[in-house]
Structure 1
Amino acid sequence: MQENSEIKALLQLIDDPDEVVYETVSTKIMSLGKAIIPNLEHFSETSINTELQAKIERLIQQLHFEDLKADFIKWNDGSPDLLSGAMLVAKFVYPDVDVTAVLKDIDKLRRNIWLEMNSYLTPMEQINVVGSILYNYYKQRGIEINYNNPDGFLINKVLEKQHGNAFGNGTLLLILFGLLDVPVYAINIPQQFILGYFDSLYDVLNPVGHASEKIKFYIDPINGQMYSHKDVENYFKKIAVPPTASFFKPINNKNVIITLLTELQKCYTAEDNAFKNEQISSLINIIAA
């Protein structure tokens, strides 16, 4: 924690009732970047003024967000891998997330699955191996989507708590399949987050085939259950939506993260969370631009 007379003066002025003064102080604090966060935290801890504490918390959150926004821009402009993107989404809620711990957990899962894989396994046998290790051995569970609980969407909490909703577990599975070179991708079936096992040779043999024919079968990330084409056809009949080709195309990493952010945003619809909702919108815009 750095300390000097300028910082002390700024901290004392945070609680100034004059909005112009507060805006000036806020702008100056933001210009100092994350280095001033320990000072803000200490000042908040030593104050009994709840309104002041709320102002400081908002400033800290904004400082973290500006840093996160810069990271999203770098991720979007580079080679946007899914694990890094999922970690950035987690940092929106948990700025101090232990990245090393998450990477270790992911690598442990990858190694244990890889040891059971071989080139003679059929696609369904590959998925059975992944499901057996993740859902049976590691006891990963699926939970209902609860917009009062953002943890179900976040890769760090999905690993830590050993449960996640369809989007949280689905992101974990997609990361693992990517690391293992298994051709499984998210697809855009309405009202679902479901994965498809794609036939990598289909385009070569059937260049004009329907998009759905490239998928051998479907995988539910809640529990690893596999579904047939007939199951999916019945689902489309149930929701009375024609199964157009766009629903069966693989979603790239950027759009998976946009989907994850869009769902996470629904956790912040209350009036007192309006600024977080707006911040997520700005992150989505960075990727969608």
Structure 2
Amino acid sequence: MQQTKELNALFTLIDDPDVEVYSHVSERIVDFGKAIIPNLENLWENTLSEEVQDRIANLIHRLHFTDLKHDLIEWRDSGQHDLLFGALLIAKYQYPDLQTTPVLQEIEKIRRNVWLELNSYLTPLEQANVLSSIMYNYYSLKGGEVSYNKPDEFFVNKVLATKQGNAITNGIIYQVMCELLDINARVINIPKQFIVAFFQDDYDESTYIGHPQNKILFFVDATTGQAHSHNDIENYFKRIGATPIKAHYKPISHKRSLQILLEELSKCYHLPSNETMRNELQELVELLDA
């Protein structure tokens, strides 16, 4: 954005000690939108005061966050709800300058390797074994329990770059693969888990009125790619002292997957100094509910 007299005047007031003055100045700067970010970055580089640099950094973050909210609202209100695109939007919370092309290329590389190994004669379990073998053995994707000391494991761009994720991000990548390969598998609502269920080909959640468990062939733990039987899931419910109900076996929406991702990510920022980040992530959760 071209530097104007108004911008110059506003920038000279960023260091004003009067809270009310700074509040007015910051709101006016944010009103310019993300086009002003390069100007702010240049100002940051040429500022010696750490306090003023912090204020500039905060303004840049506010502009990125406002832009992210706009994009997430567009995603929410679209008819597609592309899961990968939604997860990449969440990654832009931490990495606002994220370039999505390398991520899409990595996803396409995995998809193509799996596709080359699939054929119409494979059973769903054999398809799952091929997918898991490519993702976790050939591609070397690793997964572990959700750790609130490792926020990067909640961002799909970092997971694909480092090949280290958690149950949620690995599950999102696994479901994205299934969708790209026309495999009828979805994340379901098992408590404290992010489990992918492989459904019979004729299962359609919008029309099927029976118990969805009856249409599930088997389950896959996307943390490791290991397949599980119905007995395995029933034993899990016994271990946690819960009674399985119909809702547990229903596929969760892509919006809900992103909400879970955001809710769990927010727990990484548990220190009092990170209260703003927790509040912002909760704001994104609620925005997806609207």
TM over 0.5: yes
Q: In structure 1, what is the Cα distance between the partners aligned to 2:210 and 2:235?
A: 21
Q: In structure 1, what is the Cα distance between the partners aligned to 2:170 and 2:203?
A: 27
C-alpha offsets along residues 193-247 of structure 1, whole Å, 9 cap, x if unaligned? 111101133579x966432222111101111000111111111111100011111
Q: How many residues align?
A: 288
Q: How far apart are residue 76 of structure 1 and its match?
A: 0.7
Q: How far apart are residue 133 of structure 1 and its match?
A: 0.8
- Which is worse superposed, 263-272 or 28-37? 263-272
Q: In structure 1, what is the Cα distance between the partners aligned to 2:57 and 2:270?
A: 19
- Which is worse superposed, 81-90 or 42-51? 42-51
Equivalent residue number for residue 133 of structure 2 = 132
SS of corresponding position for 1:216: strand
Match for 2:48: what amino acid? I
Equivalent residue number for residue 58 of structure 2 = 58
- Which is worse superposed, 43-52 or 83-92? 43-52
Match for 1:44: what amino acid? W
Equivalent residue number for residue 145 of structure 1 = 146
Equivalent residue number for residue 22 of structure 2 = 22
Note the 1:1-289 alignment, pairs <5 A: 2-78=2-78, 79-201=80-202, 209-289=210-290
Q: How far apart are residue 146 of structure 1 and its match?
A: 1.8
SS of corresponding position for 2:197: strand
Q: In structure 1, what is the Cα distance between the partners aligned to 2:10 and 2:203?
A: 63
For structure 1, the 5+ residue unaligned runs are: none
Q: In structure 1, what is the Cα distance between the partners aligned to 2:150 and 2:8?
A: 37
Q: How far apart are residue 143 of structure 1 and its match?
A: 2.6
- Which is worse superposed, 263-272 or 180-189? 263-272
Q: In structure 2, what is the Cα distance between the partners aligned to 1:202 and 1:277?
A: 38
CA contact (8 A) 1:65 1:92 kept: yes
- Which is worse superposed, 64-73 or 35-44? 35-44
Match for 2:21: what amino acid? V
Match for 1:37: what amino acid? I
CA contact (8 A) 1:203 1:214 kept: no
Identity %: 49
Q: In structure 2, what is the Cα distance between the partners aligned to 1:191 and 1:157?
A: 23
- Which is worse superposed, 80-89 or 140-149? 140-149
Match for 1:4: what amino acid? T
Q: How far apart are residue 111 of structure 1 and its match?
A: 1.1
Q: 1:203 to 1:286 in 2, by over 3 A?
A: closer
Q: How far apart are residue 8 of structure 1 and its match?
A: 2.0
C-alpha offsets along residues 63-93 of structure 1, whole Å, 9 cap, x if unaligned? 0000010001111111211011011111111
Q: In structure 2, what is the Cα distance between the partners aligned to 1:277 and 1:254?
A: 19
Q: In structure 1, what is the Cα distance between the partners aligned to 2:142 and 2:51?
A: 40
Q: In structure 2, what is the Cα distance between the partners aligned to 1:31 and 1:220?
A: 45
Q: In structure 2, what is the Cα distance between the partners aligned to 1:160 and 1:143?
A: 16
* TM-score, reference length from structure 2: 0.95
Match for 2:160: what amino acid? L
Q: In structure 2, what is the Cα distance between the partners aligned to 1:126 and 1:115?
A: 12
Q: How far apart are residue 188 of structure 1 and its match?
A: 0.9
Q: 1:85 to 1:129 in 2, by over 3 A?
A: same
Q: In structure 1, what is the Cα distance between the partners aligned to 2:12 and 2:31?
A: 17
Q: In structure 1, what is the Cα distance between the partners aligned to 2:279 and 2:208?
A: 42
Q: In structure 2, what is the Cα distance between the partners aligned to 1:107 and 1:203?
A: 26
Alignment RMSD, CA only? 1.7
Q: 1:207 to 1:187 in 2, by over 3 A?
A: closer
Q: 1:255 to 1:44 in 2, by over 3 A?
A: same
Q: In structure 1, what is the Cα distance between the partners aligned to 2:106 and 2:264?
A: 24
* TM-score, reference length from structure 1: 0.95
Match for 1:189: what amino acid? I
SS of corresponding position for 1:264: helix
For structure 2, the 5+ residue unaligned runs are: none
Q: In structure 2, what is the Cα distance between the partners aligned to 1:207 and 1:170?
A: 24
